[in-house]
Amino acid sequence: MAPLIIIYFAWVREGVGRDEEQVERPGPDTTVADLVASLAARGGGYAEALGDSARLRAALDQRFVPLDTAIGDAREVALFPPVTGG
């Protein structure tokens, strides 16, 4: 099965020290929040950037989703702070 692509933006990107990575695909019932927790458990910049999920927002295949959404068969997960455009 295709790996899962994770992309990061803004201070989340700076905290984890990369803008994109691929991980082994978790089970389809795994939520974005579960994924965030497993990434934060790596420690270091990951723990700092992803440790407080209340500060994070997410998109699955380029659509905003709440963090309790199951990843299912999504190809791409994006993790970032609340947006500040306009």
Partner 1 sequence: MKRIAIQSDDFDVAGELAALEALGGGGVASFTGIVRGEGGLVALELEHYPAMTQAQVERIVEEALARWPLLGVSIIHRFGRLEPGARIVFVGAASRHRTAALESCAYLIDWLKSHAPFWKKEHFADGATQWVEARAEDEAKAKEWGEERGRE
- Here the tokens at position 39 are 């990434």
Interatomic CA distance for residues 86 and 68, integer angstroms:
27
The count of C-alpha atoms lying within 13 angstroms of the C-alpha of 54, restricted to the half-sphere facing its C-beta, is 0
Least distance (Å) between residue 14 CB and partner 1:
8
Least distance (Å) between residue 23 CB and partner 1:
18
Interatomic CA distance for residues 76 and 5, integer angstroms:
5
Least distance (Å) between residue 29 CB and partner 1:
24
Return the residues of window 2-21 that contact partner 1 according to CB under 8 A: 7, 9-11, 13
Give the residues lining the site for partner 1 (CB under 8 A).
7, 9-11, 13, 59, 62-64, 76, 78, 80-86
